Amino acid sequence: MGRIIAIANQKGGVGKTTTAINLSSSLASMGKKVLSLDMDPQGNMTSGLGVDKDEAEKTVYDLIIGNAGVEECICRDALENIDVLPSNIDLSAAEIELIGVDNKEYILKNEIDKVKDNYDFIIIDCPPALSMLTINAMTTADSVIVPIQCEYYALEGLSQLIHTIELVKERLNPHLEIEGVVFTMYDARTNLSLQVVENVKDNLNQNIYKTIIPRNIRLAEAPSYGMPINLYDPKSTGAESYMLLAEEVINKGEE
Ligand code: ADP
Ligand code: MG
């Protein structure tokens, strides 16, 4: 049965999409069958996995407003072992269209339940907001991975995020867990990155992945080629670190 992991943090630019893309592709390269589900209207996970977001016939938007079933929306074999549920800017209208709809928190879950047995992992990229789209992702997920950027305001907003996850667990999805926190964009040349890691470890009572994702320009370049890092530059430090993260995620599931 597929493990469903949402990558969430309402802050923008912390490495959610980069993590969602490269965790998906690292898991896939280890032989896991992955569905990459893009819940962000920016569609950067979609394009980062080589799917043309504006050519996709049916997207998460169609799924959310009840215009299409999940099978119709999946873009199969986008990459080896990876199917993509694409999104694009259309999805930004979904929140409005859902006003007054009953049980709107469960729309995604009800659809994903139909296909989750086809995958080892379903990785959901969340938008940078605690919106109805993020709530749908958390209601669908078994767990949440929180990327934290190694910069000064790293802890800002985290208590709000954790509170939201607790509310979803209490009211919508009793199975939801915080899978762990992953540090991103670590810069070994500065003391700041190290201080942030130490500070978060001291102040946050959560599982923290041993793997720390370094700041690596290759990770920033890869999306413009529509490629995950393990295809764009498999020898880069970025590629190696996402492989290690994927191993940790697999091992944690087998505990
Ligand atoms: P989010 O989805 O949280 O908004 P992104 O994954 O889009 O964040 O990352 C924000 C920006 O930082 C992007 O331009 C991305 O390419 C870049 N980036 C993310 N992670 C790294 C990294 N480890 N090293 C270098 N650049 C990164
Ligand atoms: Mg993003």
Measure 146 CA to ligand 2 centroid, in angstroms.
12
In this predicted model, what pLDDT tens digit does every residue of 130-146 receive, in sequence order?
999 999 999 999 999 99
Atom of ligand 1 minimally distant from the CA of 220:
16
Atom of ligand 1 minimally distant from the CA of 21:
6
What are the residue ranges spanned by the domains of the chain? Answer: 3-254
Measure 14 CA to ligand 1 centroid, in angstroms.
6
pLDDT at residue number 65 = 95
Measure 13 CA to ligand 1 centroid, in angstroms.
6
Mutational pocket test of ligand 1: of 18, 36, 209, 236, the residue with most ligand atoms within 8 Å of the beta carbon: 18
Nearest CA to ligand 1 atom 16: 220
CB of 187 within 8 A of CB of 214?
Answer: yes
Measure 220 CA to ligand 1 centroid, in angstroms.
6
Protein residues with CB under 6 Å of any ligand 1 atom: 12-18, 44, 128, 184-185, 213, 215-216, 219-220, 238
pLDDT at residue number 205 = 84
Low-confidence ranges of the chain (pLDDT < 70): none
pLDDT at residue number 55 = 94
Q: Is the ipTM of this complex over 0.90?
A: yes
Name the fold adopted by 3-254. Answer: Rossmann fold (3.40.50)
pLDDT at residue number 190 = 87
